[in-house]
Amino acid sequence: MRFTCYPTRRSPRSSWTVNVSGTAGCNNYFAKYEVSGSQLTIGVGGTTMMACSQPIMAQESAYITNLAASASYLITGDQLEISGADGNALLTYKVIQPTPLTGMLWRLTMYNNGKEALVSTLAGAEITATFGEDGSLAGSAGCNNYSASYTVDGSALTVTAPATTQKMCAEPVGVMDQEAAYLNALQMAAVYAITGDELEITDTDETPC
């Protein structure tokens, strides 16, 4: 599972509220959560609207239900255990070592279409990104190749306006609209997080780009 959080802790003893997001097996999800000591409360959130096979959707439904029933947590070594109000374990996670940002070929799986919705990429129009150690960013936007510059400061990520080749593609249907939305979303990048082999980029409103 993938989690990305942005703590706004007020004091060592006060409760604090942050964002939690991840993949539930088919859809991505997001919500607010609050921690006070070892107590954990996860609020009502939302998910993307993809459909997968019945076993995956059943697992996803059970996971979301358990997440909403969270009442406490315990971290032991590299393991996180979340329990319900009765003290019984609901979910168990293990830390995944992240992949480095640079030197990897990243393939886009989902992007913000500009209508406040995360959607999957079109089949037959692969979108990629490679972050160079010299601050260069290059890849395919689905039809055209693009290049840009980027800077990183901790988890903060800034991407300049990309330059592209000038091809026009007719197939698959919608590829040029997807390309425009992707390049626009790339310029909105503000924060990034890597968990395992997954990279998530969000804007200043903590919305996936």
* pLDDT for 177 beyond 70: yes
pLDDT at 205: 60
- The CATH class of the 16-94 domain is mainly beta
Residue 2 pLDDT level (bands cut at 50, 70, 90): very low
Mean pLDDT of the chain: 86
pLDDT at 49: 85
Cβ-count burial of 7 within 10 angstroms (0-12 exposed, 13-18 middle, 19+ buried)?
exposed
Among 32-36, 60-64, 197-201, the range of highest mean pLDDT: 60-64
DSSP 3-state of 205: coil
pLDDT at 189: 92
* pLDDT for 50 beyond 90: no
**What would the mean pLDDT of 132-152 be, rounded to a whole number?**
96
**What would the mean pLDDT of 31-57 be, rounded to a whole number?**
89
- The CATH class of the 106-202 domain is mainly beta
For residue range 78-92, list pLDDT tens digits in order: 899 999 999 999 999
Question: Among 14-18, 28-32, 170-174, which is the least confidently predicted range?
Answer: 14-18
* pLDDT for 132 beyond 90: yes
* pLDDT for 131 beyond 60: yes
Q: Which residue has the tokens 């959607």?
A: 119
Do 42 and 51 touch, CB atoms closer than 8 A? no
pTM of the shown model: 0.56
**What would the mean pLDDT of 11-28 be, rounded to a whole number?**
69
Which of 188, 193, 197 is closest to 21 using CA atoms?
Answer: 193
pLDDT at 204: 73
Do 161 and 147 touch, CB atoms closer than 8 A? no
Do 203 and 209 touch, CB atoms closer than 8 A? yes
Chain-centroid distance of CA 95 in Å reads 16
SS in 3 state form for 14-76?
Answer: CCEEEEEEEECCCCEEEEEEEEECCEEEECCCEECCCCCCHHHHHHHHHHHHHHHCCCEEEEE
Residue 111 pLDDT level (bands cut at 50, 70, 90): confident
Please state the domain extents for the chain: 16-94, 106-202
For residue range 149-159, list pLDDT tens digits in order: 999 998 899 99
Other beta carbons less than 10 A from residue 54's beta carbon: 8
The DSSP letter of residue 168 is -
pLDDT at 10: 34
| Percentage of the chain exceeding pLDDT 90 | 59
**What would the mean pLDDT of 15-38 be, rounded to a whole number?**
83
16-94 and 106-202, same CATH topology: yes
CA dihedral 150, 151, 154, 157 (to 10 degrees): -40
